[in-house]
Structure 1
Amino acid sequence: MSNNNKELTLSAPLSGPVLTLGQVPDEVFASHAMGDGIAIDPLNDCLHAPCDGVIIHVARTGHALTIRADNGAELLMHVGIDTVELNGEGFALLVKDGARVTNGQALVQFDLDRLARRCKSLVSLIILTNGEQFELQPLARKTVKVGEPLMRVLARSTVGDETAVDNVSAEASASVRITHRGGLHARPAALIRKTALGFSSQARLHYGDKSAPCDSLVGLMALGIGEGDEVRVSCRGTDGEAALQALIAALSVPVTAQHVAPVAATPRRASNEANVLQGVCAAPGLVCGPLFRLAGIELPADIGTHAVDDQRQCLDTALEQVRSEIRTTLAHARQRQHVEEEEIFAAHLALLEDPALVEAATAAIEHGSAATHAWRDAIQAQCTVLLALGKPLFAERANDLRDLQQRVLRALLGEAWHVELPAGSIVSAHELTPSDLLQLSAQQAVGICMAAGGATSHVAILARAKGLPCVVALGADVLDVPQGQRVVLDAANGRLELAPSEARHAQVHQIRDAQQLRRQQQQAQARQPARTLDDVSIEVAANVASSAETQVAFENGADGVGLLRTEFLFVDRRTAPDEQEQRQAYQAVLDAMGDKSVIIRTIDVGGDKQLDYLPLPVEANPVLGLRGIRMAQVRPELLDQQLRALLQVRPLARCRILLPMVSEVDELLQVRQRLDELCAELELTQRPELGVMIEVPAAALMAEQLAEHADFLSIGTNDLSQYTLAMDRDHAGLAARVDALHPALLRLIAQTCAGAAQHGRWVGVCGALASDPLATPVLVGLGVRELSVSPLQIGEIKDRVRHLDAAQCRQLSQGLLDLSSARAVRHACQHHWPLS
C-alpha cells in the first residue's frame, strides 16, 4: 500500500464479486447520493480494514463504520442492504469508535446466513464520503479476495476559492422530529447531505449538546440520532430559508420513502390437485393451448469505455422514438374510444417526460455507463423506491416504469417488439407490461399468466377490456413450465393446469363453445329488465370512468350507471379541472345514458392517489390516511366546486351523488348541509339523491344510522375486503386470500342491508364482487337490489338473476354467514347455485 498523502491504494475489505454502485439494489446508494464508491457481494463473514487509519464512526447496530485513512480520505463501509433493521442481530463489532487500525485488520464479524434470510441483499458498500477532497479510481476487477488491491484514492487539486457564504445573513432555524426508521443512519444521512449541498447556505443539525454540518455524512451519523428524536436545523446564508424548508422535508420523510422492504419470491399457493398452480383471477375465461414463455431484455455486463456525447445522443433519440410510438397508441385509443387504454398510455407519456428519470440516466452516462445500462439503472432505482412504499398504486406505477424500460431499451438496441407466437398460445411471464399485452392481444394470444402482478393493475384492466383470460400471482413455478407444454388456463378460478388430459382439453373446447353460445343469448336479452323467478327486480348498472365507457354500457343494456369514478377528470394533469369542464363531463355521461339514472362518486383522491397540483402531507400509511371524504374536509373548495358542477346537470333528477370513504354520520350530515346551501345559492328547488359508500367496516356497522340520513347505500367490496381482512388486495402473496365472499364480509353486507331496510333505503354493490356471477345469488339473498358491474358483464349478470329464486337465495344465504372461510362459501355457492 502506498501512502504519500496524495494517493492511497485500498485493499478489498471482503471477498466476492465486485459491483458498480449502479448495480446496487438500493436507490440511495445507486444514485451516488452517499458518494462515489464500489460494492462487493460478500462470500466471507468478516469485514476487514482497507487501509491504515482511525475508526471515526461506528453504527450502534454494528452494520456500518467509517474509517479515516492517513491521507484524510473518509471511507464508509456498509454491510448489506437494510441491515439496520436487524438492530445489531448477527453482527459482532471487533473495534471501537476512535480505535487505530491497520490494513487488513478484522473489524466486524457477521452471520452471513442470518443476513441472507432477514435482509434485502448482502451487497456491501465501500463509499468515499468526502468526495469533494478526493476521487476514486476503481481497479478493473470482477472478483476480489480480502487484501487484494481494490481501488485507488487520489487527492483532488483545489482550484479557486469556495463560494463565500453570507455570514451576515440572519439564521433561520426550526425543530423537527426524526421519522426515518432506525434514526439518522447512513442512508437518511446521505439524503440530508445531498439536500444541503443544493444550497449555498451553511446548514447544521443540532442534537442535545452536539451539532454537525449537514454536508458531512460522517458528522451527521456521529450525532447518534434515533427514530423519534427531536433535532434543530439551522441555516445561515442568502438562501437560508429555502434550505431550511428543504431540510425539514428531508428529515421528516416517513420511513417508507427510504426503506426498501425485502422482496420475497411469491410463494406457490397450495392446491389439492397435482400439477395445478393457483393464482388470482385478473380477467375471467377458460382456454387451453401451448405455453409460451416471454422474457424481458437482459443486458450483458457493461464493459469498456463510452463516448459521453454519443451515449447522450443515443438516449435522446430513443426517448423521442418511444414518445412518438406512445402518441400513436394514444391516437388509436382515442379513435376507437378505448378509454382505459388511452388513460394508461397517457400516464406512460407523463412518466417518460419526468425529468428525474432522464437526469438520473444522464448522470450515469457521465459516469461512464452505456446509454442502455444508464436507462435500465435509472428505471430500476425508481422502481425500487416505488415498491418500497408498499402501496398498490405505486406498485402499478413501477410496472409502468418497467414498460418504459423495455421500450426504450428496444429503441436503443434497434430491436422491434417482435415475438412469433405459436397459434393459440397462452403466454407466461414474470410480469407483463401494458404495451406487452397490447402486442400479445394483436398476435392472437388466447390467455396470459404471470408469476407476479395484481388483479387491479393496468395489465389486468387491459386484459379485461380485451376479453383476454388472465391469472396473476401464480408464483415463480410458472416460469419453470417448459416452453410449448400444453396447459389449461381456468382464469375465473385462478388455476393453471399443467398436465391436462386429452379428455380435459376436449371438455374445455366444449365448455368454450357452450359459453360462446350462452353469451350470444345473454347479449340478445341484455336490454331487458332483470327479475328473479319470484318477480324481485334487480337493477344491473355499470361501473364507468367516462362518457365513452357510459356509451358502451348503455349499448350493452345497463340499467344505469352505478358508479362514475370522477378521478378520470383530475389525474395525470398539471391543473385541476374547473367547474365548467366538470359540468360538461358529467353532463356528457348523463346524455350517454339516455333516460337512466347516473350515480356520480365525488373525488376519491388523497392517500396513495396523489395529484401533482394538490400537495398533501406525505403519509406513512396512505390507505389509512387522507383520502375520499377526509381529503374533502381538508380541501373543502374542491368538493364545493364539484358539487356546484353536479348541481348544474340536467335533468337533475337523474343525477345521484355518492360520497366515498365515509366512516361516521357527521361526515354525511356536513355534506348534506353544504349541498342544501349550494342548492339555495343556485335557486334550485330539486335536490339530487345523496348516497354513502360502504367501504370501511365502521360504515357497515353504522349502516342503520347512515341510512337515516342517506338516500341510498352503495357497498365498495374492494376496499371493504382489504380493510376488514387487513390484507392488501394487490399483495402478490396475499391477493388470493382477499376474497369478498369471506363470511366476515358477508356479515357486514347483511348488516348494511338490514340497517338500510329500517329506513326503506336500497343498497347496491359497486365493487368487484358484483361482477362475480357466483356471488350474485348471495348478494340478492342478503338484500342487495342493485349490482353495478363491468359494462361487458351486464348481459351475463342479468341472465344469472333471471334464473334465481330470491326467497331461496334469502334462506340459503343466511347459512353462509356461519361458514368458516371464503373457500367454504364458494364451495357452498357452487353446490346451491352451480354455474353452467
Structure 2
Amino acid sequence: MSKNNKELILSAPLSGPVLTLASVPDAVFASGAMGDGIAIDPLNDTLHAPCDGEVIHVARTGHAVTLRADNGAELLLHLGLDTVELQGDGFSMLVKVGARVSNGQPLLRYDLDKVARRCKSLVSLLVITNGEHFQARPITLKGVNVGEPLMHLIATTPGGTQDSEQDGGIEVRGQIRIAHRGGLHARPAALVRQTARRFKSRSHLHFDGRSAACDSVMGLMGLAIAEQAEVHVSCRGSDAEAALQALLATLSTALAEETQAAAPVARPQRHPAEDGVLQGVLAAPGLVAGPLVRLGAIELPDDVGGHDIQAQHQRLELALEQVSDEIRCTLDHARIRGDHNEEAIFDAHLALLEDPILLDAAHLAIDQGHGAPHAWSQSIEAQCQVLQQLGSALLAERANDLRDLRQRVLRALLGEACSFDVAAGSIVAAQELTPSDLLQLSAQGVAGVCMAEGGATSHVAILARGKGLPCLVALGPQLLTQASGQTVVLDADGGRLELAPTAERLARVQQAQSQHAARRARQQILAHTPARTLDDVHIEVAANVASSTEAAQALANGADGVGLLRTEFLFVDRHTAPDEAEQCQAYQAVLDAMGDKPVIIRTIDVGGDKQLDYLPLPAEANPVLGLRGIRLAQARPELLDQQLRALLQTRPLERCRILLPMVTEVDELLHIRQRLDALAAELGVKERPQLGVMIEVPAAALLAEQLAEHADFLSIGTNDLSQYTLAMDRDHAGLAARVDALHPALLRLIAQTCTGAAKHGRGVGVCGALASDPLATPVLVGLGVRELSVSPSQIGEIKARVRHLDTVKCACLSAELLNLGSAAAVRRACHQHWPLG
C-alpha cells in the first residue's frame, strides 16, 4: 500500500506474533547490523510480498528473498534463523530475480515442521537493508495475519527515492583485508562512517554473508570483523567509484592505536593470591596512596508508565542534543589543544550518539510506552549485550563507550549533576569508568583510578595514560565491596591494589611521592630562571596557551612568554562571533596574566577542517588544503580587520606580537602589514606590534629568507608542516602515528627556515608539538631554533634539557641527522647522542 512517492505501508508477509529486532535471538540481526526492521514468529507456511516491487535477489538456499519497493527501499525477507545451513532442504522459492511482484503475492513456501525441527528458530525477519535513507515505524507489536498493516516506511532523504531511480544500476564493488588492529571496533568504524558520509553514494560492508550500512557504527561493529579478515564493499550512486576507492583505502590503512605512543601496556598477569591485595591489570603506570572513594552508576527510578509518547520523544531529543553539544565542545577544545587521542575517542562517541540503530531502538521503546530514560537505557544495554556476545574482547571493551553515552544522556534526562563530589588526592573505585568520567575526575585532581572491569586497551586507559593518572583495571567484583574512606595503595606498575597497607608501606610510598614532588619542586624553582646552554646561549622557553587562565598557569610554571595564543578559543562553542570589544578584553587579559612577558597571538585559524556555526563555508573535498587560516581572512577580510583592531588596542603594544597562519607567499604578508598600518592610522595608534609568519607549509619554509626580509619573526608550526610535507592528514586515525616531525625531510625544512631567517637577523621559534618533545630539543637547538613554545606543564623539563646542551655539538650532530632516511632512524640517533633521563 503506497500513500505517496515517499511513504509506504508494509503489510505482514507472515502470520504470527510480532517482535522487535532487539528481541531476536541472533546477535547480528538484533544489533541492526543488517538494517532496521521487524520480526514475526510465523504460524503459516508461506511468505508473502509486503508491498509491490521487484525481486532483486534470491538466496541460493531458498530461505530468503530481497525486494526493491517502488520508493527505493530494499527489503530483505529472511525465513528463520541459521536456515542457510539447511541448504534449501524444506524450502520452495516461487519467484525469480527480476520478477515484478504485487503486494500479498506468495514468494516462497516451506515445510513448517521440517524446518522448525532443524533450524535455530523460525523467527523471521523483514529488514530494510538500505535503511539509512528511510524511517521505519512499526504499526503494531501484536499478532498479525498475512496482509495486515505492519510497518510505516518513510523516505527521509532524496537518496530513498531519487537515487534509487537515477542510480539504480550504478554499483561498484571491491574487496580488501581489514588492516585495523583488533578489527573493526569503534574508532575505525567511525572512520569508515566519516569516509562514507563524504559521498552521495550508498555504501555497504559485506562480511560472512552479512551486511551493514557504512554510515552506522553499531552496524559495522555488529559484523564482528577481525583484523586481516577479507570484506567486500559495495557502493551505489553517482560518485560510487570515488566512494569505493576512499573506503578501500580507509579499511586497508592500519589504525594507529593510541597505545603505541603511550607507555607500554602490560599483558594481564595473575599473581598468587595475597591477603589484603586485589590483583589487576596495568592500564596507566604510577604508584600512589590515598583514601578510596567508590562511585556507583546512575540508578533509574521505576518506570510507572502512562507517559505522553510525543513528550517523551521530545524529551529524548532535547537530551541527545544537549549531550551532542557537550561532545562537540570537548572535540573543539581537544582540537585546539592538539590532543588527537581525546579527539579520536570523542569523534567515535559523537558517531555513536547519531547512530540510527541506537536512536530507532530508543524511539521504538518510547512508542511501546516506556519513559525516555528507560527507553534510552534499554537501547544502550541491548547493544552492549550484542558487542559482548560477538566473541571479541576488544569489541566487549568498546561497550564501555556506549555506557558512557548512557550515563551522559541519562544525566541530561534526569537533571543530575555531571560532576562527582570527589576530593583531590582520592583513589576512585568503580565498576567501569567512562571516558567522560575520567576527564572529570582528572580535572578534580584525583590521585588514581581503579575498576572492577575494563581493559588495558580501552579508551579510558588511553586517556588515563595521557593524563598521567595511575590506573588499574580488571580488579574483579571484590573491589566494589570495599568501603569508602579506607587508605589504600594503588601500585599500577605492579598490578596491585593494597587494601590494608602497613605503616611502613605507606611511608615508603609517601617517600617515593615526596621524592617525585621534590624533583618537580626543584624543576619549578629552576623553571623561573633563564634556560642557557653549557656554552651560554639563551633559549627562550615559552608556552602554548588558549586562554588567560592557561597564560597565568604558564607564568607560574616559569614561561618566558606566550609563544602561541590560539585565538580560536574565542570563536568556538558559540552561535555568534565575538565583537571587537570582547576580543580586545580577552587579549588584554592574556597580556595582563603574563606580567612583563611577550605574548605571540595568532590570528584566527579556522575554516576547512575547523568549522564555526555562524560562519557557513562551502563543503570542501579536502578541507586541510582548502579555505583556512590567512586564506579565510582574504575571503572574509572583515573578520581579520576586526581582530587586528582589537589587537591594536591592547597595552603595552610592544608586548603584543601578531602571528599569521598559513602564509605561503610574501604578497600575503605585505598585504596584511598594509592593513595593519591602515587600521592603526584609523585608530590613531602610532606604535606597531611585531608581525610574524607561521612556517607551516613547505612553500613558506622554502621562502623563509624572502619572508624574513619583511617579517619581524618566524614561528614554525610543526604539526601542519608535518602533514603537508609528508602528505599525511594528521587527523587521519590510520596515519597519525606516521606523522612524525622528526622526519629528516621536516628537519631539512626547519634548517632552511633558520638559515633564511638568520640572513636578516630574525629569530625563529617552534610552537608545534615537536617543541614539547624532550628528545627533539637538542635537534631544534642545533638547527638554529632559539625559542621553544611548549605545553605549560613541560616548561621546567624543557629548560632542564636545554641546560645540559652544547649548541656547537648540537649543530654538528643535527647536521648529520639530515642525511638519515626516516623519522625512526632520527629518533634512534637522538637517543644515542642525547639520552633522556
What TM-score, normalized to structure 1? 0.61
CA separation of 1:759 and 1:251: change in aligned 2, threshold 3 A: closer
Q: Alpha carbons of 1:607 and 1:24: their partners in 2 closer, same or farther (altered >3 Å)?
A: farther
Match of 1:38 in 2: 38
The within-5 A match list for 1:437-516 is 437-439=439-441, 442=444, 444-446=446-448, 451=457, 453=459, 468-469=468-469, 514-516=515-517
Of residues 2, 9, 17 in structure 1, which corresponds to 2:14?
9
Which residue pairs with 1:146 in the alignment? none
Q: In structure 2, what is the Cα distance between the partners aligned to 1:254 and 1:296?
A: 45
Question: Within the alignment, does 1:803 sit opposite 2:807 as a pair?
Answer: no
1:28-54 CA distance string (max 9 Å, x none): x66xxxxxx3389xxxxxxx9754886
Separation (CA, whole Å) in 1 of partners of 2:707 and 2:566: 22
Distance in 2, matches of 1:155 and 1:356, equals 27
Structure 2 equivalent of residue 154 of structure 1: 148
Q: Which residue of 2 aligns with 1:812?
A: 813
CA deviation after TM superposition for structure 1 residue 681, in Å: 2.7
Q: In structure 1, what is the equivalent of residue 749 of structure 2?
A: 748
The residue type equivalent to 1:451 in the other structure is T
Distance in structure 2 (CA, Å) of the matches to 1:314 and 1:373: 12
Q: Partner of 2:725 in structure 1?
A: 724
Give the superposition deviation at 1:553.
1.6
Residue equivalent to 1:233 = none
- Say which SS state the counterpart of residue 9 (structure 1) adopts: coil
> Does the Cα contact within 8 Å between 1:660 and 1:692 map onto a contact in 2?
yes
Give per-residue Cα distances to partners, 1:544-572, cap 9 Å, x unaligned: 11112212222222111101111111111
Equivalent positions of 1:170-319 (< 5 A) are 193-195=155-157, 216=161, 220=165, 224=169, 259=215, 275=266, 287=287, 307-309=306-308, 316=315
1:562 and 1:748 map into 2 onto residues whose CA distance is 20
Alpha-carbon distance in structure 1 between the residues aligned to 2:553 and 2:748: 34
Cα 1:7–1:569, aligned 2, differ >3 Å: closer, same or farther? closer
Change in 2 beyond 3 A, CA 1:822/1:481: farther
Take 2:829 and 2:355, find their aligned partners in 1: how far apart are those partners?
A: 53
Bigger CA drift: 744-753 or 799-808?
744-753
Instruction: State the alpha-carbon separation in 1 of the partners of residues 285 and 542 from structure 2.
Output: 22
CA-CA distance at 1:78 after TM superposition: 9.3
Q: CA deviation at 1:787?
A: 0.7
Unaligned runs of 5+ in 2: 1-9, 41-45, 79-92, 111-124, 173-196, 204-212, 227-254, 269-282, 330-336, 383-398, 480-487, 498-505
Report the alpha carbon displacement of residue 814 of structure 1 after superposing the two structures with TM. 1.8
Flag the 1:415–1:629 CA change in 2: closer, same or farther, 3 A: closer
1:742 shift after superposition: 2.9
Specify the SS of the correspondent of 2:668. helix
Native 8 Å contact 2:524 2:557 kept in 1: yes
- Superposition map of 1:647-686 within 5 A: 647-686=648-687
Displacement of 1:828 in angstroms is 2.7
Once the two structures are TM-superposed, the CA of residue 689 in structure 1 deviates from its matched residue by: 1.6
- Separation (CA, whole Å) in 2 of partners of 1:707 and 1:402: 53
Give ranges in structure 1 of 5+ residues lacking alignment. 31-36, 41-47, 80-92, 107-121, 141-149, 159-189, 197-213, 228-249, 278-282, 331-337, 382-397, 472-477, 490-495
**Change over 3 Å in CA distance of 1:779–1:219 after alignment to 2:** closer
1:175 matched residue in structure 2? none
Cα–Cα, structure 1 residues 727 and 427, in superposed 2: closer, same or farther, change >3 Å? farther
Q: Secondary structure at the match of 1:658?
A: strand
SS for the counterpart of 1:799 is: helix
Q: How far is 1:520 from its partner?
A: 1.1
Deviation digits for residues 780-804 of structure 1, max 9, x if unmatched?
1111111111222222222221221
Q: Does 1:636 align with 2:637?
A: yes
Distance 1:576 1:411, change over 3 A: closer
Say if 2:97 is the partner of 1:103. Answer: no
1:83 maps to which residue?
Answer: none
SS at match of 1:676: helix
Deviation for aligned residue 1:269 = 5.6
Give the equivalent residue in structure 2 for 1:172: none
Could you report, residue by residue, the CA deviation over 1:791-823 in whole angstroms, capped at 9, with x for unpaired residues? 222222222212211111111222223334433
Contact 1:38 1:126 in 2 (8 A): no
Q: Which amino acid aligns with 1:56?
A: E
Q: Which amino acid aligns with 1:104?
A: L
Cα distance, 1:127–1:715 mapped onto 2, change above 3 Å: closer
Q: CA deviation at 1:748?
A: 2.6
For residues 34-93 of structure 1, the C-alpha deviation after alignment (integer angstroms, 9 at most, x for no partner) is xxx3389xxxxxxx9754886527499x99953569xx99762399xxxxxxxxxxxxx9
Give secondary structure in 1 for the equivalent of 2:795.
helix
Q: Which position in structure 2 is the counterpart of 1:436?
A: 438
Structure 2 counterpart of 1:77: 76
* 1:602, distance to aligned residue in structure 2 (A): 0.7
Tell me what 1:56 maps to: 54
- Contact (CA 8 Å) 1:604, 1:627: kept in 2 or not? yes
Asked whether the 8 Å contact 1:8–1:153 carries over to 2, the reply is yes
Post-superposition shift, 1:138? 5.2
Q: CA deviation at 1:578?
A: 0.6
Q: Percent identity?
A: 51
Work out whether 1:606 is the aligned partner of 2:607.
yes
Residue deviations 1:729-758, cap 9 Å, x none? 455554444333233332332222222223
Letter in 2 for 1:835: L
Out of 24, 35, 41, the residue aligned to residue 32 of structure 2 is 24
Aligned length: 646
Shift of 1:703: 2.5
Equivalent AA in structure 1 for residue 437 of structure 2: S
For the structure 1 residues 450 and 434, does the alpha-carbon distance in structure 2 shift closer, same or farther, using more than 3 Å as the test?
farther
CA deviation string 1:354-389 (max 9, x = no partner): 9999998667623655524643699999xxxxxxxx
Written as runs of structure 1 = structure 2, the 5 A alignment for 1:275-674 is: 275=266, 287=287, 307-309=306-308, 316=315, 365-366=366-367, 368=369, 371-372=372-373, 374-375=375-376, 403=404, 405-409=406-410, 432-439=434-441, 442=444, 444-446=446-448, 451=457, 453=459, 468-469=468-469, 514-674=515-675
Distance in 2, matches of 1:130 and 1:274, equals 42
What's the counterpart of residue 206 of structure 1? none
Distance 1:605 1:39, change over 3 A: farther
SS at match of 1:599: strand
- Tell whether 2:786 aligns with 1:793: no
Greater CA drift, 695-704 or 253-262: 253-262
Change (3 A) 1:131 1:620: closer
Residues 656-710 of structure 1 deviation map (CA, whole Å, 9 limit, x = unaligned): 1111222333333332232233233334333222112222333333333332332
Whole-angstrom distance in 2 between the partners of 1:408 and 1:613: 26
In the TM superposition, residue 642 of structure 1 has moved relative to its aligned partner by 0.7
> Superposition RMSD on alpha carbons, in Å?
6.3
> Partner of 1:776 in structure 2?
777
Question: Could you tell me whether the CA contact under 8 Å between 1:427 and 1:445 is conserved in 2?
Answer: no
Cα distance in 1, alignment partners of residues 416 and 585 from structure 2: 44
